[in-house]
Chains A and B, each alone.
Chain A
Amino acid sequence: MRRVHIRYFAALREALGPGEEWMTAAQTVGQLRDELIARGDPHAQALARSRPVRAALDQSLCPETQALEEGCEVAFFPPVTGG
């Protein structure tokens, strides 16, 4: 198990409160998302598998198979809409 820094942006930040938290997580970004969903609402709804949620590890976009490391920063957010 490892401690990870989780950050949320845009609609996810609004749904999930302060925008960041630390937690002990399993091995991959996808497993972390599942652990957050397992908490129940509001996480279950905001991060539901039926929703498009993108992730970044240490500020680079990543797939959910990405492995987590101690102290890493994981961000979850909706599809981007800049430009």
Chain B
Amino acid sequence: MVARVSIQTADFDLGAELAALRAQDLRVGAVCSFVGTVRDRHAQLQRGAPVQVGPVQSLELEHYPGMTEKSIELMIDAALGRFDIYAARVIHRVGLLKPADQIVLVAVTSAHRGESFQACEFLMDYLKTQAPFWKKEVTPEGTRWVDARVSDDAALARWGLAADNAGPG
């Protein structure tokens, strides 16, 4: 049995993770995965040519050990209860990451594509607003904690769940 949740500093191999998730389960007809990567919010495409590098040199990811794993396990339980899926896997990296590094993997298996597409999005929407991770950008001018986005709360609301993460108070 593959662990459902991993919080780690190491990178992950998407192909190996998907192979392990569906191994020996002949019911699986669909595998849907999402990989989040470190984005330099300030990087610009110059006339479609090479990317102008922005000021983000690295990203530090902090989390709340214990609560992180527990909250994501509960999210996977919720996804298994809500969608007709067979298995789910979440990997989230912490520590120091660079632009273009992989941060997060959510992968789901099911018989048909619709359920795994939906469950994958549900898990990401849930994770963005309810799992205790915090990002800090490191730039030449110093460090800056990344702000939460109200649009991420709205994404979770589509599933009938209140996020109450971003925003005042």
- Which A residues have a C-beta under 8 Å from some C-beta of B? 7, 9-11, 13, 49-50, 52, 54, 56, 59-61, 75, 77-83
Interface residues on B, range: 20 to 34
Q: Do A79 and B64 contact each other (CB < 8 Å), given the known contacts A9-B132, A11-B145, A61-B130?
A: no
Distance between Cα atoms of A60 and B75 in the complex (Å): 12
How many Cβ-Cβ contacts under 8 Å join chain A to chain B? 84
- Which B residues have a C-beta under 8 Å from some C-beta of A? 36, 61-64, 66-67, 70-71, 92, 103-104, 124, 127-136, 145-148, 152, 165-169
Contact indicator B62/A80 (Cβ below 8 Å): no
Distance between Cα atoms of A66 and B147 in the complex (Å): 26
Contact indicator A60/B132 (Cβ below 8 Å): no
Contact indicator B67/A83 (Cβ below 8 Å): no
Q: Which residues of the other chain, A, contact B169 by a CB distance below 8 angstroms? A: 49, 52
Distance between Cα atoms of A56 and B67 in the complex (Å): 9
